Amino acid sequence: MADDDDAVSGLCEDACCCHAQQQCGEEPLSAEDVKSQQAEVRRKFVNTLVAEVEQLTKLSDEFLSLEKVRKNSTKADAKIIDDEQKALFEAR
């Protein structure tokens, strides 16, 4: 129990007033700063989504090009193509 008290003593005196984006003792963020940080988070989120879509588009293109090759392939080649297509998705 004493260990718990020691851990709590390291927290700021009024932990409930601290915000996740602030350090204890810092001034509260202005509305402009909050909006700026929110815009930055949205920008990063959108960039992440765009990168994900680009990666999925590339994966789809590779899969479809293998599918086109399969149409004119032998049974043995079709098995190899199946394995390559499966590997594309497993690597993802």
Domain ranges of the chain: 2-91
Where residue 25 falls (left for φ over 0; alpha for ψ -120 to 50; beta otherwise) is: left
Confidence of residue 21 (pLDDT cuts 50, 70, 90): low
Residue 57 Cα distances to 2, 34, 41, 47, 82, angstroms = 56, 34, 24, 15, 19
For residue 73, what pLDDT is reported? Answer: 87
The dihedral over CA atoms of 35, 41, 42, 47, expressed in degrees to the nearest 10, equals: 150
Full-model pTM? 0.55
Q: Over the stretch 55-82, which tens digit does the pLDDT of each residue have?
A: 999 999 998 998 888 888 888 888 898 8
